[in-house]
Amino acid sequence: MFENLTEKLQRVFKNLRGEGKLTEENIQQALRDIRISLLEADVNFKVVKQLIDRIKEKSLGQEVLTSLTPAQQVVKIVHDELVELLGGGAAQLRFASQPPTVILLAGLQGSGKTTTGGKLARWLSRHGHRPLLVSVDVYRPAARRQLTVIAEAIDMPIFEGPAGPADPLELARLARREAANTGRDVLVVDTAGRLHIDDEMMGEMQQLKQQLEPAEVLFVADAMTGQDAVKSADEFHRRLGLTGVILTKMDGDARGGAALSIRSVTGQPLKFVGVGEKYDALELFHPQRVVSRILGMGDVLSLIEKAQETVDLKQAEEMQRKLLSDRFSLGDFRDQLRQMRKLGPLDQILGMLPQVGPFRQLQQVKLEEKELVRIEAIVDSMTPRERNHYQVINGSRRRRIARGSGATVQEVNRLLKQYAEARRMMRTLSGGFMAKRMGKLKLPSALR
Partner 1 sequence: MPIQTLFGPPPPPTVFERLQEAVSSTRQNLAERIEEAVHGQKEIDAGLLEHLEATLLGADLGVATTTEVLDKVRQQVDRRQVSDAGQLTGMIKQELLEILKRTDARAGTQAGSLCREFPQVVLVIGVNGVGKTTTIGKLAHQLISDNKRVLLCAADTFRAAAIEQLEIWGQRTGTEVIKQKPGADPSAVLFDAIGSAKARGIDYVIVDTAGRLHTKSNLMAELEKMSRTAGRAVPGAPHEVLLIMDATTGQNGLQQARRFTESVGVTGIILAKLDGTAKGGVVIAIARELKLPIRYVGIGEQKDDLVPFDPEQFIDSLFRETPR
The answer to whether the beta carbons of residues 259 and 290 sit under 8 Å apart is yes
The answer to whether the beta carbons of residues 341 and 369 sit under 8 Å apart is yes
- The residue among 140 and 424 lying less far from Mg ion, judged by its C-beta, is 140
Residue 171 contacts which entry, ligand GTP, Mg ion, partner 1, none (Cβ below 5-8 A, type-dependent): none
Q: Where are the alpha helices (DSSP H) in 15-157?
A: 24-40, 45-59, 70-86, 113-126, 143-154
3-state SS, residue 17? coil
Question: In the window 103-122, what residues touch Mg ion (CB under 5 A)?
Answer: 113-114
Q: Sheet containing 244-248: give its strands across.
A: 158-159, 131-135, 186-190, 101-106, 216-222, 244-248, 270-274, 282-284
User: Contacting partner 1 (CB under 8 A), which of 18, 20, 65, 153?
Assistant: 153
- Is residue 351 within the footprint of partner 1 (CB under 8 A)? yes
The answer to whether the beta carbons of residues 390 and 370 sit under 8 Å apart is no
3-state SS, residue 314? helix
- Is residue 3 within the footprint of ligand GTP (CB under 6 A)? no
Question: In the window 251-310, what residues touch ligand GTP (CB under 6 A)?
Answer: 251, 274-277, 281
Q: With CA atoms as reference, report the closest residue to 353 among 304, 424, 416.
A: 304
User: Contacting partner 1 (CB under 8 A), which of 7, 137, 160, 222?
Assistant: 222
Taking the CB of residue 43, how many other CB atoms lie within 10 A of it?
A: 28
- The residue among 248 and 261 lying less far from ligand GTP, judged by its C-beta, is 248
Nearest-angstrom CA–CA distance, 335 and 340: 9
User: Contacting partner 1 (CB under 8 A), which of 4, 73, 146, 336?
Assistant: 146
* Residue 265 Cβ vs partner 1, minimum distance, rounded to whole Å: 5
String marking each residue 22-61 x if it binds ligand GTP according to CB under 6 A: ----------------------------------------
- Is residue 195 within the footprint of partner 1 (CB under 8 A)? yes
Nearest-angstrom CA–CA distance, 394 and 157: 65
* Residue 448 Cβ vs ligand GTP, minimum distance, rounded to whole Å: 30
- Is residue 191 within the footprint of Mg ion (CB under 5 A)? no
Rounded to the nearest 10 degrees, the angle between the axes of helix 287-294 and helix 70-86 is: 130
- Is residue 153 within the footprint of ligand GTP (CB under 6 A)? no
User: Contacting ligand GTP (CB under 6 A), which of 8, 76, 79, 113?
Assistant: 113
Strand partners, 189: 104, 134
Residue 392 contacts which entry, Mg ion, ligand GTP, partner 1, none (Cβ below 5-8 A, type-dependent): none
**CA atoms within 13 Å, Cβ hemisphere of 410:** 0
Taking the CB of residue 167, how many other CB atoms lie within 10 A of it?
A: 12
- The residue among 318 and 368 lying less far from partner 1, judged by its C-beta, is 368
- The residue among 107 and 269 lying less far from Mg ion, judged by its C-beta, is 107
Return the ∠ at Cα 357 (arms to 353 and 362), rounded to 5°: 55
User: Contacting partner 1 (CB under 8 A), which of 4, 26, 44, 336?
Assistant: 44
- Is residue 430 within the footprint of Mg ion (CB under 5 A)? no
Q: With CA atoms as reference, report the closest residue to 356 among 26, 37, 24, 23.
A: 37
- Is residue 120 within the footprint of ligand GTP (CB under 6 A)? no
3-state SS, residue 107? coil
User: Contacting ligand GTP (CB under 6 A), which of 37, 72, 101, 115?
Assistant: 115
Q: With CA atoms as reference, report the closest residue to 346 among 389, 284, 401, 303.
A: 303
- The residue among 100 and 107 lying less far from ligand GTP, judged by its C-beta, is 107
Q: Where are the alpha helices (DSSP H) in 160-198?
A: 168-181
Q: Which helix (H) or strand (E) holds 271?
A: strand 270-274
User: Contacting ligand GTP (CB under 6 A), which of 137, 204, 283, 386?
Assistant: 137
Residue 6 contacts which entry, Mg ion, ligand GTP, partner 1, none (Cβ below 5-8 A, type-dependent): none
Q: Which positions ≥6 away from 224 have C-beta within 8 Å?
A: 42, 249, 252, 254, 258
* Residue 360 Cβ vs Mg ion, minimum distance, rounded to whole Å: 35
String marking each residue 309-328 x if it binds partner 1 according to CB under 8 A: --------------------
User: Contacting partner 1 (CB under 8 A), which of 120, 265, 303, 412?
Assistant: 265
Task: Write out the residues near partner 1 by the rule CB under 8 A.
Answer: 1, 36, 39-42, 44-47, 49-51, 54, 81, 84-85, 108-112, 114-115, 139-143, 145-150, 153, 195-197, 222, 224-232, 234-235, 249, 251-255, 257-258, 261, 263-265, 267, 277, 345, 347-348, 351
Binding residues for ligand GTP (CB under 6 A): 107, 109-115, 137, 140, 143, 192-193, 195, 248-249, 251, 274-277, 281
Which residues lie near Mg ion (CB under 5 A)?
A: 113-114
